[in-house]
Amino acid sequence: MHAALEGARVPIRMWADPSSVEDAAMRQLRNVANLPWVHGLAVMPDVHYGKGATVGSVIAMRDAVSPAAVGVDIGCGMSAVRTSLTASDLPDDLGRLRRRIESAVPVGFAMHKTPVNPARVPGVGGWDEFWSSFGELHAGVQNLRDRARAQLGSLGGGNHFIEVCLEQGGDDEGRVWLMLHSGSRGIGNELAKRHIDIARRLPHNADLPDRDLAVFVAGTPEMAAYRRDLFWAQDYAARNRAAMVALVQRALADEVPGVRFDEPVSCHHNYVAEETYDGVDVLVTRKGAIRAGSGDLGIIPGSMGTGSYIVRGLGNEASFLSASHGAGRRMSRTKARKTFTEADLAAQTSGVECRKDAGVVDEIPAAYKDIESVIAAQTDLVEVVAHLKQVVCVKG
């Protein structure tokens, strides 16, 4: 931990150099730390300004939660699975493998023409109960059930991705992994927007310094409704990733028959959990952060050209058992599009089979912080299990 900043109602515990954090993000952090419901605030090394709340922040609140701090991609996170293959087992034509994955998993705004059959998603049960509870969600989304079914098992756009990676160094050098990043798709977005709007209109939020910090408080019908929809959307996000893992595994098996798969590693990095610290029950919002309890496996990706890490949590309670969710952006999407060209993207993703067109220039590796430095800044939070480097990257 670099510092515990004072000057707020609760200290801001930082695993980033405060001088490296942009002023707008620091203002966000101080506004959060001054909220009367906040029990503590931890800041991860991938911290940067975000919509609703600072990305890379861990907010522990007593009897309250801020829906805008959670954001619109409820339950966004990562899944990864190690395969029995090594680099030499992969086909020479990685473009064909990428196209096979893109045929199996809809990307961008696309969705499945026929919903994914739950029988094709091993290890995940309770589908009938899950979908029957859709009728209990906010009335404003009841016409979206069919779209939610069709989008389950789809990637989306932005920084969401599917990758084929090779393990770097160690006894398993060259071992093939599959990895993906996605969340609760359109239904999570629709639920979040409705609850954010409700929270902003509540009288107890009228005098907040930032309307995005509006909260629901315990014991109210608004809090009960948000918790119901929040936890459903987090479950949807986990099921969405599990369905995609199954589809990508099938695509790889069609290309390389006989491949076997380990149990997947999966983690949310944009979500709320009920936890206890210092004997106090709190609602922990990890806004761009993973849980890193002792022994917890997690995934910290870099960018589409720099690789990722599988990590194991060390159980550091000072961070509210958390670690970073990725490298973190060092410039906005708009600035990246103005700064870099398609030629820059092609150069920075050399050796990776991926899109290299103007539509993904804002995801160029140079728009992100250095993943090695981010990992080095949190050695008291996680230990590295595996270092991965992508050879195929699918973007929406």
Q: Is 303 annotated as a binding residue?
A: yes
Beta carbons within 8 Å of 45's beta carbon, 6+ residues apart: 15, 16, 56, 324, 328, 373, 374, 377, 378
Q: Is 342 annotated as a binding residue?
A: no
Beta carbons within 8 Å of 312's beta carbon, 6+ residues apart: 295, 296, 297, 298, 382, 383, 385
Q: Is 198 annotated as a binding residue?
A: no
Q: Evaluate whether 118 touches 359 at the Cβ level (below 8 Å).
A: no
Q: Is 163 annotated as a binding residue?
A: yes
Q: Evaluate whether 377 touches 56 at the Cβ level (below 8 Å).
A: no
Q: Is 161 annotated as a binding residue?
A: yes
Q: Could you give phi then psi for residue 16, rounded to 5 degrees?
A: -135, 150
Q: Evaluate whether 363 touches 303 at the Cβ level (below 8 Å).
A: yes
Q: Is 73 annotated as a binding residue?
A: yes
Q: Is 7 annotated as a binding residue?
A: no
Q: Evaluate whether 299 touches 265 at the Cβ level (below 8 Å).
A: yes
Quickly list H helices, the chain. 23-33, 67-70, 94-104, 127-132, 145-151, 185-200, 221-255, 333-339, 342-348, 371-376
Active-site positions? 325
Q: Is 143 annotated as a binding residue?
A: no
Q: Is 270 annotated as a binding residue?
A: yes
Q: Evaluate whether 288 touches 322 at the Cβ level (below 8 Å).
A: no
Beta carbons within 8 Å of 338's beta carbon, 6+ residues apart: none
Q: Is 302 annotated as a binding residue?
A: yes
Q: Is 326 annotated as a binding residue?
A: yes
Burial state string for 41-64 with b = 16 or more CB within 10 A and e = fewer than 16: bbbbbbbbbbebbbbbbbbbbeeb
Q: Is 216 annotated as a binding residue?
A: no
How far from 231 is each of 170, 186, 243, 283, 341, CA to CA, in Å?
Answer: 38, 15, 18, 12, 40
Q: Is 325 annotated as a binding residue?
A: yes
Beta carbons within 8 Å of 318's beta carbon, 6+ residues apart: 1, 13, 42
Binding residue ranges for Mn(2+): 73, 160, 181, 269
Binding residue ranges: 73, 159-163, 181, 269-270, 301-304, 308, 325-328, 395
Binding residue ranges for GMP: 159-163, 269-270, 301-304, 308, 325-328, 395
